[in-house]
Structure 1
Amino acid sequence: MDLRARVIYIAVMSPNRPTSLEHASFDELPPPSTASVHPPGPPPLARAC
């Protein structure tokens, strides 16, 4: 039971993991660059994405 649930969880998280990682990378890159030019710039950009 636990093993099956774990496999399902990993299978469901597998496709979400790369997306989450890419999103975090993209979110981490724009903040510093945009924050330097416009502080209120990063929030809307991350929300639009």
Structure 2
Amino acid sequence: MSGSTLFNLSLLTSDMWAVAIRLLFYQQQVKISDRSFARDHNTLHIYAHKI
């Protein structure tokens, strides 16, 4: 796996933690852009496991 893939995974993972904390602790709504972060994270996860 290349360094850029790991870098992107780490950035998206930190975004996912921010979304999870917002949902669990602050009970705020999730925006469409947050859902796109989840989709991107899942896509990179699939890509990482195919290599």
TM norm structure 1: 0.48
**Greater relative contact order structure (CA < 8 Å, 6+ sep):** 2
Larger Cα-atom Rg: 1
